[in-house]
């Protein structure tokens, strides 16, 4: 605890910037996801009323469900487009400028959605949701890269795992504000929909006071003075020569090397296993069953005989439990390592899904069985947040060099948003056919991914990007000779020996 407090004092600039990035980043995305559940009934009523006023007759139920599904899924389509353009924009303009412009897009989208009821136009909700998706798709890869690049090696895992904390915090705040006593009422839901612009406004106002990442300034802008100033502002006046040496070694390996395109990265054999791992980790997040768990929570609680209003509050308890678990992940990730948290989390989650399947099958037999299901559901959400939720983000940001990090995040982002869209459209049909036995599919995915991680993912804790790349080279080239990274210090980086 004393060590953390001393780091908090020394690296206060870093912690402040992580907070600003988190509030305008994964916080607002988690917030939007959680609030949509509380607005579904109100938005459907609004669409029906608008249709009746325009055409003189109520909308057909099938058309209403179709419009609502478009409102939900168009967020994923926008996210797919935003993530596809993140590589080009990050390389050309830098992460800081991209995020500032992205905040303007989010504020504009929030304003459009907030005015939809006054304008009697449900089309404005569609437009706003699409713009929010573009903003989110652009924000997530930029946020993860930014946080990873501004953090020293000893705090890199903690810093990357904070995105999971802000995600859970956004979901919890959205669940709280979505209660009908606050903004989840029939009259105030437009304010709830527009409130996603507030975190973007906070980041828009505060981010200009913070620097671009030191590696970006040095390796892409050749700005030595800017790099020194950024390190002082973020890391304090201490001795940071080891981290500076790592940046310069990476710069030496990148000499005469451009930022790769997505196609060039896919064709490059030196990064083949890194791509395999990012595909496995991204796909597993979508197919681990966490969305199914949230879907079944209400059903389990209603089967236990709880009042509908009580169900809303008890669902909130799951979100708060996930938030506390995300804090725990941030505190232990540098002790246990990323590989241990991901692998162990997958296997524990798979075992819990097997138990949940059994308790849901027996919940009509014994009055106390739904309570067992609820406890297992809460435990599943906690294990996800403590293990894979935060460690996956950290790992994806650490296994790629700067020259291929932007296209790698494009690939991960496209897979993630494509998964959101596909799972969102197919999951209701899977549940309708398989009921709670759908958890067995997710269980198989978790155990299989856990075995892949155990066999092929090197531990990244406390290692530089050069060391991590050398570990992957053993898989990428196997018995072939691979030239090691240069160990000498080039004359280019003696400028940073004193800070």
What mean pLDDT comes out for the span 333-356? 88
Print burial letters for 416-444: b (CB count within 10 Å at least 16), e (below 16).
Answer: bbbbbbeebeeeeeebeeeebebbeebbe
- Does some domain include residue 441? yes
- Does some domain include residue 99? yes
pLDDT tens across 204-234, in order?
999 999 988 888 787 777 777 787 788 888 8
- Distance (Å, rounded) from C-alpha 480 to C-alpha 270? 12
- Does some domain include residue 466? yes
- Does some domain include residue 179? yes
Predicted local confidence at residue 351, as pLDDT: 94
Residue 83: CATH number of its domain: 1.20.1250.20
Query: pLDDT at residue 465 above 60?
Result: yes
| Same domain, yes or no: 187 and 296 | no
pTM: predicted TM-score of the whole model, two decimal places: 0.77
Host domain of residue 367: 265-478
| Same domain, yes or no: 200 and 271 | no
| Same domain, yes or no: 200 and 286 | no
| Same domain, yes or no: 25 and 145 | yes
Q: Which residue has the higher pLDDT, 206 or 84?
A: 206
| Same domain, yes or no: 280 and 180 | no
Mean pLDDT of the chain: 80
Q: CB burial class (10 A; 0-12, 13-18, 19+) of residue 56? A: exposed
| Same domain, yes or no: 291 and 436 | yes
| Same domain, yes or no: 46 and 164 | yes
| Same domain, yes or no: 188 and 280 | no
| Same domain, yes or no: 176 and 269 | no
In this structure, are residues 386 and 345 in contact, taking their beta carbons and an 8 Å threshold?
A: yes
| Same domain, yes or no: 66 and 153 | yes
Query: pLDDT at residue 441 above 60?
Result: yes
What mean pLDDT comes out for the span 133-141? 88
Predicted local confidence at residue 491, as pLDDT: 36
How many separate domains does the chain show?
2
User: In the structure encoding, which two tokens stand for residue 118, read together?
Assistant: 């006054």
CA angle 470, 473, 478 (to 5 degrees): 135
Q: What is the DSSP string of 121-134?
A: -THHHHHHHHHHHH
- Does some domain include residue 217? no
């Amino acid at each position: 605890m004393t060590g953390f407090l001393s780091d908090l004092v020394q690296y206060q600039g870093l912690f402040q910037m992580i907070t600003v990035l988190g509030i305008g980043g994964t916080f607002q995305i988690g917030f939007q996801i959680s609030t949509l559940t509380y607005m579904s009934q109100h938005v459907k009523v609004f669409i029906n009323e608008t249709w009746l006023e325009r055409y003189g007759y109520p909308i057909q139920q099938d058309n209403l469900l179709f419009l609502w599904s478009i409102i939900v899924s168009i967020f994923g389509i926008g996210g797919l487009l935003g993530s596809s353009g993140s590589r080009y924009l990050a390389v050309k303009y830098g992460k800081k400028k991209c995020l500032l412009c992205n905040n303007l897009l989010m504020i504009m989208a929030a304003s459009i959605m907030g005015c939809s009821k006054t304008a009697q136009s449900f089309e404005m909700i569609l437009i706003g949701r699409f713009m929010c998706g573009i903003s989110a798709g652009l924000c997530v890869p930029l946020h993860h890269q930014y946080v990873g690049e501004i953090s020293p090696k000893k705090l890199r895992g903690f810093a990357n795992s904070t995105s999971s904390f802000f995600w859970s915090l956004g979901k919890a705040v959205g669940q709280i504000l979505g209660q009908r006593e606050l903004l989840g009422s029939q009259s105030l839901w437009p304010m709830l929909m527009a409130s996603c612009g507030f975190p973007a406004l906070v980041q828009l106002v505060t981010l200009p006071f913070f620097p671009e990442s030191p590696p970006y300034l040095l390796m892409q802008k050749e700005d030595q003075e800017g790099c020194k100033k950024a390190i002082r502002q973020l890391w304090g006046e201490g001795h940071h020569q080891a981290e500076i040496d790592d940046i310069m070694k990476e710069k030496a390996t990148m000499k005469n090397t451009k930022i790769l395109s997505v196609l060039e990265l896919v064709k490059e054999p030196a990064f083949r296993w890194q791509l395999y791992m990012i595909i496995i980790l991204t796909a597993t997040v979508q197919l681990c069953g966490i969305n199914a768990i949230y879907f079944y929570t209400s059903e389990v609680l209603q089967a236990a005989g709880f009042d509908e209003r009580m169900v809303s509050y008890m669902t909130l308890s799951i979100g708060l439990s996930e938030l506390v678990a995300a804090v725990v992940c941030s505190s232990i990730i540098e002790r246990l390592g990323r590989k241990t948290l991901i692998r162990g989390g997958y296997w524990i989650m798979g075992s819990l899904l097997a138990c949940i399947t059994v308790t849901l099958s027996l919940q009509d037999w014994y009055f106390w069985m739904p309570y067992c299901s609820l406890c297992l559901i809460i435990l599943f959400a906690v294990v996800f947040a403590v293990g894979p939720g935060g460690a996956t983000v950290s790992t994806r940001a650490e296994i790629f060099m700067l020259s291929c990090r932007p296209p790698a995040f494009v690939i991960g982002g496209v897979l993630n948003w494509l998964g959101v869209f596909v799972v969102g459209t197919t999951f209701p049909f899977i549940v309708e056919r398989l009921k709670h036995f759908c958890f067995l599919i997710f269980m198989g995915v978790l155990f299989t991914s856990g075995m892949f991680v155990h066999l092929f993912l090197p531990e990244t804790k406390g290692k530089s990007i050069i060391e991590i790349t050398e570990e992957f080279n053993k898989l990428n080239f196997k018995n072939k000779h691979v030239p090691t990274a240069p160990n000498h210090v080039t004359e280019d980086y003696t400028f940073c020996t004193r800070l």
